[in-house]
Amino acid sequence: MNSASLPTRAPWLAARRWIFALLVLASTAFGGWAMFEILRVNGITPLQAVVLGLFVITFGWITIAFWTAIIGFVLRLTHRDPLTLSRVAPPATARHLGEHRTALVMPIYNEDPIRVATGLESTCRSLLEQPGVEGFEAFVLSDTQDATIARQEEAAIAALQQRLAPHFTVHYRRRENNQGRKAGNLADFCRHWGRHYDYMIVLDADSIMGGQTLVSLVASMQANARIGLIQTIPIPIRSDSVFGRFTQFAAALHSPLLATGQCFWQGETVNFWGHNAIIRVRAFMESCGLPELPGRPPLGGEILSHDFVEAALLRRTGWEVHLDVHVGESYEEVPSNILDFAKRDRRWIQGNMQHLRLLGVPGLHPMSRFHFLFGAMAYLTSLLWGLMLVVSTVDAIGRAQGRHDFFSAGYQLFPDWPISTPGLIIPLIVSTVVLLLLPKMLGFLLSFIQQPEAYGGRFKLLLSTLLEITIAILIAPLMMAFHSLFILSVLSGHKVSWDAQVREGRSVPWKDAIRHTWVATLLGAGWAYVTYAFAPVFFWWLSPVWIGLMLSAPLVKLTSSLTHGKRLRRLGLLCVPTEVMPSTLVQNAQSAAPDDHGAQLRSPPTPLPGDMPLQSFHARPKASPQVARQSEPSTPTSSKPVRKVDASNDHHLN
């Protein structure tokens, strides 16, 4: 699907947010009231009070995803734009595209040079199929510190430059140090070359984007001069392992649905995910110079999850931050096994925990503060869920041993909470299951109705959805254990190194699977033994948790298998649209690049230095003068030429 031009304003946005907040609060209040009524009959003990508090937080958290999914389902089913609420418009058309200069910027760090060059070449060749793209160029911004990889990078990019010349220009710059990591890499580009360009489209080393998508993003920027950033929805591709295919399928099925719902109530203050997004360069330079946080790492020092902060800073100075949920051909790659996925989460946890220190920064939009809290809670809820289960286990054992009348008789599926409230127990359990599973089922239902052939047909789509839910349930306890351990590690002062992400598929050896999961396995076994010995009914109620923990090593090993992943693909299970109906863009990205030797690496263009001042987290900034001067934008279909932005006249950047 192509991008429609983004609107100038979202109608009734404040009312939408209030309605969404009321739905979440009402649902959470119902769940909290039901749990309170269940617990209070014989008097709430201190342990039960803790369980109640933890339950309310986690129940409230899942209601956010629940209502977001329902809204997204309705909008996508009726083909309504989440901002305007009108029918989805035709694709945005760029007029006088060449009058605006756009840089595709790809920061890399110790990546596989051939894989990087192949993906970037696929993006560039797709762009060349579009008319009027002479204003586009690409920059590979290397922070690679390994000398051998750096030499390979230079050879791969030189060969890429030779293959694309003279139709498309690719520049290469390597920093001798990686100060500031990715954020520092982008800031270095902006300070040296940012004034050459009006827009930059940020790509990760594994990003692949279609030419029509890129042109539509530029058209949307041209149509609304108040927009500082437009984020797309990157969909994972190119994974052969079981876990990778599970992740790809889940993202393809559910991410557009949830993103549409988020866009409905977040409006012009959405988040930045760090890549596959277009940014107005002058807005970024004037608003997004990141200072270090006071104190020592892990909660001080360099801001790791910089993207959330950059979106908040753009919004703080008046720039709009949009999410284009209708754009197609925006792809990325994900770790191919649970261990590499958890390692990436470990880095994100530290970065997102830093955001809690920014909740009180003056001048932030309330939605930006919510993004900071939302990002941290995405991981904190794992710890809270684990604590709730532990406290519930202690309370269940106490009741089973005679201090409470918790389990009346026999082996029953659910705990026998106070006998006078049986009418609330089953509805609460059913409600919780519905809140957890309905978003997944809505994603399935939407694809079942609108594009079942893209997943191999309705029957295989159903089987794949059931398989995805089964895998998600099985690995949830292990991810809960990983996340809880990582959060405690951050809070105890242990920082993490930010190394290159492992993108290629690999099967995890048994010894590595056991080495990283033996604690979780012992925890599951011990938990199962204690509950069976002292609270046997609770043992069965807790079975999804201890089974998942005890099977940690086999799950890591099995889901990392490339052989089983390819077998699933041959069976038509966990297939995604890019496999069933691959585009030329995806096919080119999977082709091996020619082995060109002897090409000479060309130097980057002459720098045009510009200022990117560090922002203050202590003082409220003034609104951007650029935003204040913007008039109502012309529509992208207008015949009126779009004025070229001359970066050399942006005196406020000097």
Structure tokens at 96: 């006088």
- Segment 624-634 shows an average pLDDT of 59
Instruction: Give the neighbor-by-neighbor strand order of the sheet with 235-236.
Output: 208-209, 330-332, 235-236
Q: What is the pLDDT of residue 500?
A: 63
pLDDT tens digits, one per residue of 431-449: 888 899 999 999 999 999 9
Phi, psi for residue 217 in degrees, rounded to 5: -65, -45
Tell me: pLDDT of 284 over 50. yes
CB 309 within 8 A of CB 366: no
- Segment 386-414 shows an average pLDDT of 70
The identity of residue 79, as a single letter, is H
Q: Interior CA angle at 47 toward 42 and 48, to 5°? A: 45
Q: What is the pLDDT of residue 644?
A: 36
Tell me: pLDDT of 412 over 70. no
* 3-state DSSP percent of the chain in helix, strand and coil, to 5: 55, 10, 35
Cβ neighbours around 228 below 10 Å, total: 32
Least confident span in 15-19, 86-90, 218-222, 400-404 = 400-404
Least confident span in 43-57, 253-267, 332-346, 403-417 = 403-417
591: which residues sit within 8 A by CB, 6+ positions away?
Answer: 118
Q: Checking DSSP bridges between strand 330-332 and strand 208-209, what pairing results, if any?
A: antiparallel
- Segment 114-130 shows an average pLDDT of 94
Q: What is the pLDDT of residue 499?
A: 64
351: which residues sit within 8 A by CB, 6+ positions away?
Answer: 303, 304, 305, 306
Tell me: pLDDT of 406 over 70. no
Q: What is the pLDDT of residue 225?
A: 92
Tell me: pLDDT of 632 over 50. no
How far apart, in whole angstroms, are the C-alpha atoms of residue 334 and residue 504? 9
**DSSP readout, 545-590?**
HHHHHHTHHHHHHHHT-HHHHHHHHHHT-S--HHHHS--HHHHHHT
Tell me: pLDDT of 404 over 80. no
612: which residues sit within 8 A by CB, 6+ positions away?
Answer: 187, 190, 191, 194, 285, 286, 288, 289
- Segment 183-209 shows an average pLDDT of 96
Say which CATH topology domain 97-223 has: Spore Coat Polysaccharide Biosynthesis Protein SpsA; Chain A (3.90.550)
Q: What is the pLDDT of residue 88?
A: 86
Tell me: pLDDT of 593 over 90. no
343: which residues sit within 8 A by CB, 6+ positions away?
Answer: 335, 502
Q: What is the pLDDT of residue 497?
A: 67
Domain ranges across the chain: 97-223
Q: How confident is the model at residue 341 (pLDDT cuts 50, 70, 90)?
A: very high
Tell me: pLDDT of 408 over 60. no
Percent of the chain with pLDDT over 70: 87
SS (HEC) of 203-246? CCCCCEECHHHHHHHHHHHHHCCCEEEEECCCEECCCCCHHHHH
Tell me: pLDDT of 133 over 70. yes
| Entry pTM | 0.89
The identity of residue 628, as a single letter, is A
Q: What is the pLDDT of residue 634?
A: 40
Tell me: pLDDT of 98 over 50. yes
Tell me: pLDDT of 67 over 50. yes
Q: How confident is the model at residue 267 (pLDDT cuts 50, 70, 90)?
A: very high
The more confidently predicted of residues 413 and 545 is 545
Q: Which of 70, 86, 66, 88 is nearest to 1 (CA)?
A: 88
- Segment 650-654 shows an average pLDDT of 35
pLDDT tens digits, one per residue of 6-38: 555 788 999 999 999 999 999 999 999 988 988
Q: How confident is the model at residue 94 (pLDDT cuts 50, 70, 90)?
A: low
Tell me: pLDDT of 410 over 90. no
How far apart, in whole angstroms, are the C-alpha atoms of residue 282 and residue 625? 11
Q: How confident is the model at residue 636 (pLDDT cuts 50, 70, 90)?
A: very low
How far CA 97 is from CA of 6, 143, 221, 456, in Å, comes to 17, 31, 11, 38
Tell me: pLDDT of 407 over 90. no
Q: What is the pLDDT of residue 545?
A: 94
Q: What is the pLDDT of residue 648?
A: 35
Q: What is the pLDDT of residue 490?
A: 93
Instruction: Give the neighbor-by-neighbor strand order of the sheet with 199-202.
Output: 170-174, 136-142, 102-108, 199-202, 277-280, 227-231, 320-323
Q: Checking DSSP bridges between strand 227-231 and strand 320-323, what pairing results, if any?
A: parallel
Q: How confident is the model at residue 631 (pLDDT cuts 50, 70, 90)?
A: very low
Tell me: pLDDT of 420 over 80. no
CB 128 within 8 A of CB 211: yes
Percent of the chain with pLDDT over 90: 72
- Segment 169-184 shows an average pLDDT of 93
